[in-house]
Amino acid sequence: PVNALGGERNAPKLKPADELLLDWAYGTAGTSELEAIGIYHDRAGVLCTCVRAQTKRFITNSSGHYSSLESSYGKNGLAPVPELVSPLKIMPSGIKINILQVPKSLELFELYLHHWAATAGPETQVACVFQTRYFTPKLVEIAGKYATEVKQSRAYKKARLLLLSDFIPAASTAVPVSEVSYGDVTYQQYPGVFSANHIDYATQFMLDEWATNSLLAEIDAPGEILDVGCGNGIIGDYLLARYSEAKLTATEISHVAAGSARLNLATHGFEDRATVMIAATVREVEHPKRFDLIVTNPPFHDEYQTDISVSLELFNEASERLTATGYLVVVANRHLNYLTHLRRYFDEVLTVAE
């Protein structure tokens, strides 16, 4: 396809990991076109674009993956684009052959396994591909909780398959929920939310400072708040409790995070004052047009790679969507040097705590 991610610019080709998955899928079916296939966590949409199948089911946690798929289908003149299925939606599968690009998050990996165990039949087979340098025995350990047969393929150009079959029926099809605490408040979250076992330290730092920092205290009570990359909703939850007249719009690229935020904001009584939406950019938020306060603990990883491009675009978009007296409040790791980038878009940039 046009957007294949391997090879050279003038000679693109599939990455070895994707070759492994597709070769396995066709070899398992014994045909050059599959009747049906489940495609999980396809980050660039390459697998779904390349695979020949009468039915394709595209399951991923990230709306960004789906945007890549739409772009890939458009560039290659394909239609219709398969519908995105959230891993929070457990639906009858009926699909025997499934392929997965293993995510960095082991919690998310386990959620996908739960997805299969809840819907698997006796003929369900799964191939999970990973780079050998990122292998951890935990992958096999977690897989063994859901499938009685777990094998590894031989390595091919630094990639390897984890092959699963004979799935153990799930005790419950409901997606499990865990709890984390901040102060005396408990938050619920689905598997795969960033910083699984505790509230992210940068977020804790932001909220601790908001309670005590004199410069943050000087911010006028906002009417409209935008929380970009809201995670489990803790920042928006805190701000709605602090500013009793405010309304919140919270965005997330992750379905499990957005689902967790909706759960927490509703549990804490803010359902009528908060809107949580799946969105990769601020531009996707149509209403309200302007915000008095935009807050973010922006992501800077794309799986294993550091990538601040999303944050830089966010700063640009935020500068266009603030009211004349509005503020953007960012918490981030110091080594990312966001101050330099923020000064391109804002006349006044202050470090209020470090």
CA-based nearest residue to 147, from 115, 195, 175: 115
Residues of the chain with pLDDT > 70: what percent? 96
Please report the pLDDT score of residue 193 as a whole number: 93
Give the other-Cβ count within 10 Å of 149's Cβ. Answer: 12
Q: How far is CA 49 from the centre of its chain?
A: 20
Residue 220 contacts residue 227 (beta carbons within 8 Å): no
> Which H or E run includes 125?
strand 125-131
C-alpha span between 74 and 97 (Å, rounded): 26
DSSP 81: P
pLDDT at 165 over 90: yes
Residues of the chain with pLDDT > 90: what percent? 83
- Which stretch of 212-226, 290-304, 307-321, 340-354 has the lowest confidence by average pLDDT? 290-304
pLDDT at 3 over 60: no
- Looking at this protein, which amino acid is placed at residue 40? Y
C-alpha span between 72 and 81 (Å, rounded): 10
For 286, phi then psi, to 5°, come to: -85, -35
pLDDT single digits (tens) 196-244: 788 999 999 999 999 999 999 999 999 999 999 999 999 999 999 999 9
Q: How far is CA 60 from the centre of its chain?
A: 8
pLDDT at 21 over 90: yes
pLDDT single digits (tens) 75-85: 999 999 999 99
First to last CA, the chain: 46
Q: 254 vs 22, 49, 244, 268, 318, CA distance in Å?
A: 26, 22, 27, 21, 20
CA-based nearest residue to 14, from 39, 48, 37: 48
Residue with tokens 């020949």: 52
- Which stretch of 163-172, 302-311, 339-348 has the lowest confidence by average pLDDT? 302-311
Please report the pLDDT score of residue 135 as a whole number: 96
CA-based nearest residue to 200, from 182, 213, 184: 182
* Residue 12 pLDDT grade (very low, low, confident, very high; cuts 50, 70, 90): low
pLDDT single digits (tens) 34-68: 999 999 999 999 999 999 999 999 999 999 999 99
Residue with tokens 């392929």: 99
User: Which pTM value belongs to this model?
Assistant: 0.93
β-pairing, 147-152 with 274-278? unpaired
